[in-house]
Amino acid sequence: MELPKILALWAVTVAPALALDFPVRHEHLRKGCAGTLTIDERGVSFRGPKKHSWTWTYQDIQQLRVAPGEIRVLTYQDNPWKLGADFAYRFQARSGQPFTEAYELLKSRLDQRFVAELADDEVKPLWQIPVKHLGRLRGSEGLLVVGEDRIVYRCEHKGEPRTWRYNDIDSISTSGPFQLTLTTFERARSHYGSLKAFNFQLKQPLEEARYNDLWRRLNRKKGTIHYD
């Protein structure tokens, strides 16, 4: 066997699997508890006090949400206290450091069930536009950045920033040059299990050529159109 092949085989069999450990606090009805959240190539696990330790493979997770100081795991396990809903587990960072490493690991390993509630600073803008995100009760203002493989909403309001890979977006639509809607695979709270739409008011007119190019990029990524 050639030396490069031997070295490659050795790297696969000997190199340890990447695993990240985070000191966290598990939030639940009665106060909470401290423990360690581990994210690796197989899934997510939490080690805490007695009866507060769980392991989920990625196929057992309905949605995994990563925010700067929080990770939420939505499982398929029925929640008897909430009719028609499933158990969700919430973990807060104890170290005060953001879950940046968790985002970097998960963005290349999880599919549409991954929600990045943060703005990716590594995006290379094709174009960007100042916007207002319209909410049910109140909105937020920020910057919508369109890159080659993702769209980022940069905003200072907690819970508002997002990074969507193109595969995280079901569709886009517009009613005019000052409006843009992104319909994503994130679960909408108002309708359990549905898609979530992000409706943006645009502070500058969106050129038709830019909208058409974004539409083509999204659909080419999903394999619905093909062009050179």
Global pTM? Answer: 0.85
CATH (domain of 39): 2.30.29.30
Q: Is the pLDDT of residue 91 over 50?
A: yes
> What's the residue count for the chain?
228
- Of 90, 116, 142, the position where a domain reaches its end is 116
Q: Is residue 7 located within the same domain as residue 104?
A: yes
Q: Tell me whether residue 206 is in a domain.
A: yes
Which pLDDT value is given to residue 14? 40
Q: What is the mean pLDDT of residues 5-29?
A: 65
Q: Is residue 80 located within the same domain as residue 172?
A: no
Q: What is the mean pLDDT of residues 114-140?
A: 95
The top-scoring range by mean pLDDT among 11-15, 47-51, 183-187, 192-196 is: 183-187
Q: Is residue 82 located within the same domain as residue 146?
A: no
Which letter, b or e, does each residue of 62-88 get, where b requires 16 or more Cβ atoms within 10 Å of its Cβ? bbbbbbebbbbbbbeeeeeeeeeeebe
Check: CB of residue 147 under 8 Å from CB of residue 154. no
When divided into structural domains, the chain yields a total of 2
- Give the span between the Cα atoms of 53 and 4, in whole angstroms: 42
Which pLDDT value is given to residue 48? 93
Which pLDDT value is given to residue 7? 41
Which pLDDT value is given to residue 189? 66
Mean pLDDT of the chain: 87
Q: What is the mean pLDDT of residues 26-35?
A: 83
Q: Is the pLDDT of residue 1 over 70?
A: no
State the pLDDT confidence band at 224, using cuts at 50, 70 and 90.
Answer: low
Count of C-beta atoms within a 10 Å radius of residue 151: 26
- Of 116, 140, 162, the position where a domain reaches its end is 116
Q: Is the pLDDT of residue 77 over 70?
A: yes
Count the helices and strands in the chain (H runs, E runs): 3, 15
Which tops the pLDDT comparison, 57 or 11? Answer: 57
Which pLDDT value is given to residue 6? 42
Q: Is residue 14 located within the same domain as residue 101?
A: yes
Check: CB of residue 87 under 8 Å from CB of residue 77. yes
Q: Tell me whether residue 227 is in a domain.
A: no
State which residues form the domain around 179: 125-221
The top-scoring range by mean pLDDT among 27-31, 43-47, 83-87 is: 43-47
pLDDT tens per residue across span 160-205: 999 999 999 999 999 999 999 999 999 886 545 589 999 999 999 9
Which pLDDT value is given to residue 8? 44
State the pLDDT confidence band at 11, using cuts at 50, 70 and 90.
Answer: very low
